[in-house]
A and B are shown apart, each in its own frame.
Chain A
Amino acid sequence: DAKTTQPPSMDCAEGRAANLPCNHSTISGNEYVYWYRQIHSQGPQYIIHGLKNNETNEMASLIITEDRKSSTLILPHATLRDTAVYYCIVRQGTTGTASKLTFGTGTRLQVTL
């Protein structure tokens, strides 16, 4: 699986958009970009994933660059409950295998009043 690079920490004011970047320059054609978050001492929570197109769900938006070498997770209106460690992961999408989900070091997002 391709490695990812994320900033170790970011701050965001409550109510503002939080934009979390991720570099995955060695991503291959069949690898998906996944985002998870982990609130202190809880299990990781799935946020969103995508292959090449931008994706949006009720939690967030995922913007993937055209060359697929980087992506940005957008939380449109951050709240204090969004304070967590956010992990960007690339994962093989081939069927017929139970593929690994390998976590990098993540970005610690602190949302403040």
Chain B
Amino acid sequence: DTEVTQTPKHLVMGMTNKKSLKCEQHMGHRAMYWYKQKAKKPPELMFVYSYEKLSINESVPSRFSPECPNSSLLNLHLHALQPEDSALYLCASSQYGGSTEAFFGQGTRLTVV
């Protein structure tokens, strides 16, 4: 099983809402990633978790709050977002270290209204 599952596939939320994105993998990977991708742009790294601890935060605004409750799950909690936060949010996982490939989910298409 080389699958990273993201839910929901689509999400529309108001600027005062609180919502969460979920990512799950069962490959035993100990590194998990959140990326944000705007239309016609490459994915941009947001967060990296290593062994369930946040290891990299690419200066992401606090309205995005990641959480890694266990080695298979990664959440991204959203609060007070702006319309410009509308994007495709991608989750990925990999073995520890940089010499092995990362597997990506199909993403959550988020629209903030």
Q: Which residues does A use to contact B, with CB under 8 Å?
A: 31-32, 34, 41-46, 49, 51, 85, 87, 91-106
**Contact in complex: A101, B45 (CB < 8 Å):** yes
Across the interface, name the chain B residue whose C-beta is closest to A45.
B104
Q: Which residues does B use to contact A, with CB under 8 Å?
A: 4, 30-31, 33, 42-45, 48-50, 55-56, 88, 90, 92, 94, 96-99, 101-107, 109
**Contact in complex: A97, B98 (CB < 8 Å):** yes
- Report Cα–Cα, A86/B99, bound state, in Å: 19
**Contact in complex: A46, B102 (CB < 8 Å):** yes
- Report Cα–Cα, A103/B31, bound state, in Å: 17
| A98 cross-chain contacts in B, Cβ below 8 A | 30-31, 33, 48-50, 55-56, 94, 96-97
- 4 A-B pairs with least C-beta separation: A98-B31, A99-B98, A43-B104, A103-B42
